[in-house]
Structure 1
């Protein structure tokens, strides 16, 4: 599998073909514990990968392999103890394979456009503690469309335009393969609180935000230990 990663190129302009290729890869890699374990352990000795690993309220993720110049970046996601129903989209399309645990997965329909061009003001509203006061108009147009359970072995591909939410169980692990960035920002919504905020790429975030979500070596080792106890690697 590791040799295959070194040869792989993914063209996301053909979304259906990219989905088939990447779903096949995450399926096989999730079942190849030896290769997955090597990728996880190698991160400690790859400072460029460790610097991209992040901690968030709902999940932590380790970047296992970075080849965005060939159309993909591979991450391993591990849920935290917080579980919230927060509809969101992504700046990129991706394929995900659930390795352990599971979640209730809901797709949403948004009536109208969310991204109508550049929005410099959005950069002011980057957290649930400082939401975008203009967000109510979007929340009023959001409705659930489809809900299903994603358990171990389930795999899907999601287009960057889709809005969804994943309400996880404890110790949910997924192998996540993303494509290149296709828009400047993504959205996170909290219908229960009536709030909305935005996410930008690392290069467009303030330094305080980058420091806040940085993982670091000790946290990485703790997550690696949890993955071993869960028999993921």
Structure 2
């Protein structure tokens, strides 16, 4: 039987700075998850049964993140992202390299010209170098240093496989205000910030109902 653990094991030896290697490895996971959907349902059951996984799930006004599997030892994590109405984000990078696979819906994806993350940053210098429409069945891998932004259709659902954190912070840039700032991982969040994004059991069950109605699971 295929489990998250058996799919995770090959990822432990992957160089997460090598996007070619990460992309090849994670596509095998997406093939299993998007095919029979058994692992998606298994992950949702795990959230119900494991308070630690439930605590890792996050709810924002226009985005929900469900943590189906977490391996603290390697930093590998498998999530479902569910995009709400009006979802768009500012140009940003990530603390970790990740792969994504679209299960439902679509989003406009902009990847910007490389920036030096160790210098003073000006959002006015950002220029989109690659613009594409990520649709159902599409997979891609993004290096943790890459700056990108997404505008999603309501109800879009994606699987995300992320690797170990390569830094303790990530950059966010706002073209409208001309501001740029650093945000930090959960380990450095205040209790107030952590509480605001906490997902309730009731909201989680509502998401499961939506995923069922959409034939995602």
TM-score (norm. length: structure 2): 0.90
CA contact (8 A) 1:68 1:180 kept: no
Which position in structure 1 is the counterpart of 2:36?
Answer: 32
SS state of the match for residue 38, structure 2?
Answer: helix
Q: What pairs with 1:15-94 in structure 2 (closer than 5 Å)?
A: 15-94=19-98
After the TM superposition, which of the residue ranges 186-195 and 101-110 deviates more from structure 2?
186-195
- Cα distance in 1 for residues equivalent to 2:43 and 2:148: 28
Q: What pairs with 1:5-16 in structure 2 (closer than 5 Å)?
A: 5=7, 7-10=9-12, 11=14, 12-16=16-20
The count of corresponding residues between Structure 1 and Structure 2 is 213
- Cα distance in 2 for residues equivalent to 1:169 and 1:15: 27
Q: Using the TM superposition, give the Cα deviation of residue 226 of structure 1 relative to its aligned residue in structure 2, in angstroms.
A: 1.1
Q: Using the TM superposition, give the Cα deviation of residue 161 of structure 1 relative to its aligned residue in structure 2, in angstroms.
A: 0.5
Which position in structure 1 is the counterpart of 2:164?
Answer: 180
Can you list the C-alpha shifts for 1:146-186, whole angstroms capped at 9, x where unaligned?
Answer: 10111000000000000111110010000000000001111
- Cα distance in 1 for residues equivalent to 2:32 and 2:143: 21
Which position in structure 2 is the counterpart of 1:128?
Answer: none
Which position in structure 1 is the counterpart of 2:194?
Answer: 210
SS state of the match for residue 140, structure 2?
Answer: strand
Q: Specify every segment of 5 or more residues in structure 1 that has no aligned partner in the other structure, as ranges.
A: 117-134
Q: Using the TM superposition, give the Cα deviation of residue 71 of structure 1 relative to its aligned residue in structure 2, in angstroms.
A: 4.9
Which position in structure 1 is the counterpart of 2:124?
Answer: 140
- Cα distance in 2 for residues equivalent to 1:215 and 1:158: 27
TM-score (norm. length: structure 1): 0.84
Q: Using the TM superposition, give the Cα deviation of residue 81 of structure 1 relative to its aligned residue in structure 2, in angstroms.
A: 1.3
Q: Using the TM superposition, give the Cα deviation of residue 221 of structure 1 relative to its aligned residue in structure 2, in angstroms.
A: 1.0
- Cα distance in 2 for residues equivalent to 1:27 and 1:90: 24
How big is the alpha-carbon RMSD for the aligned residues of Structure 1 and Structure 2? Answer: 1.9
Q: Using the TM superposition, give the Cα deviation of residue 68 of structure 1 relative to its aligned residue in structure 2, in angstroms.
A: 4.1
- Cα distance in 2 for residues equivalent to 1:226 and 1:67: 27
- Cα distance in 2 for residues equivalent to 1:88 and 1:194: 14
Of 101, 105, 108, 1:101 maps to 105
Which position in structure 2 is the counterpart of 1:230?
Answer: 214
SS state of the match for residue 87, structure 1?
Answer: coil
After the TM superposition, which of the residue ranges 1-10 and 162-171 deviates more from structure 2?
1-10
